[in-house]
Amino acid sequence: MASILRILGIETSCDETAAAIVERLDDGTAMVRSDVVLSQLDEHSAYGGVVPEIAARAHVEALDTLIDEALKRANVSLADVDAIAATSGPGLIGGLLVGLMTGKAIAKAAGKPLYAINHLEGHALTARLTDGLTFPYLMLLVSGGHTQLILVRGVGEYERWGTTIDDALGEAFDKTAKLLGLPYPGGPAVEAAARKGNADRFDFPRPLVGESRLDFSFSGLKTAVRQAATAIAPVTEQDIADICASFQKAISRTLKDRIGRGLQRFKTEFPKTAEKPALVVAGGVAANLELRRTLQDLCDQNGFRFIAPPLNLCTDNAVMIAWAGLERMANGVASDDLDVQPRSRWPLDQKAETVLGHGKRGAKA
């Protein structure tokens, strides 16, 4: 009879409070027994972005209840859990403290091992939970804080091939939305407006297109949007739609060039992969349908599988944190001491050089 590993996952790195129970069988298959997420969108929308102090306080108020709910939905008790996995970074330090300290307390009280998980590793390994993907594969991480192209060689083995040298893609969406008077979060608002717009009206720049390195840049594109809006002010609803559509088109063309070069590099370095090579997309921006279509077409043209986990597993969630802990347990990785500390910056690729500019944090986180 196959043995089962079962982990309680805790995620509090930004503005979602989440808890989950996930199981892993000997053959690597997974079962999500419960997945509980509390969004703080209403608390932060009035400020046009996440307020760290409000986020941390909301985690404190909600986390115990969410953990109890996750256990009830899975019909298990703490005695039935093999380990605790809590996000330890990167993220907002106040939120990380809440989740990690809670994980430590439960681990100590229940006599369970603790796994302090890198939030980005959770994203990197999710496709193995959803699609049974084998190593190696490429991951495009696109979120409010990160835009990175990462080679995933194995559990704990990551190589950063490209990163933003300024703004993350999600940040560019949010700032564009704010500039145009659209609501927070900006990504869905820009995408909705773009559906009614003319993507050919504005010829926005496509930063770094044509360069051999695989990095990204979105600051110049954001500046071009501001200049276009200023030039035709006051903007109408149609102007906003046209700007958003042109903005998305520029991003799609930029990703097509950047990621296309990454796919070619992967085929050169791994010419004999056992399965069809794969590109995984993760992070909140992965919900954008236009960008998904661009990446799907790109993968089709280059002979890659395109894997986009379900939206609830692309955004911040505790399922991916629990799964990362399960992957570590299955690979014999030692659990963490209870004196482990949260880290606001924590690169997956420890050897990657820091990129100067606003993107410095994103490069090292």
- What is the reported pTM? 0.92
Q: Which residues contact 268 (CB under 8 A, 6 or more apart)?
A: none
* CATH superfamily for domain 134-311: ATPase, nucleotide binding domain (3.30.420.40)
Residue extents of the structural domains in the chain? 4-127+313-347, 134-311
Q: What is the mean pLDDT of the chain?
A: 92
User: Is pLDDT above 80 for 246?
Assistant: yes
What are the pLDDT digits (tens) for 72-126? 999 999 999 999 999 999 999 999 999 999 999 999 999 999 999 999 999 999 9
The residue with tokens 């709910």 is 69
Q: Do domains 4-127+313-347 and 134-311 have the same CATH topology?
A: yes
pLDDT at residue 139 is higher than 60: yes
Q: Does domain 4-127+313-347 have CATH number 3.20.20.10?
A: no
pLDDT single digits (tens) 148-195: 999 999 999 999 999 999 999 998 999 999 999 999 889 999 999 999
pLDDT digits (tens, 9 = 90+) for 306-324: 999 898 898 899 999 999 9
CA–CA separation, 327 vs 321, rounded Å? 10
| Neighbouring residues of 16: CB distance < 8 A, sequence distance ≥ 6 | 37, 38, 39, 40, 315, 316, 317
The whole-number pLDDT of residue 40 equals 73
Distance CA(158)–CA(150), nearest Å, equals 7
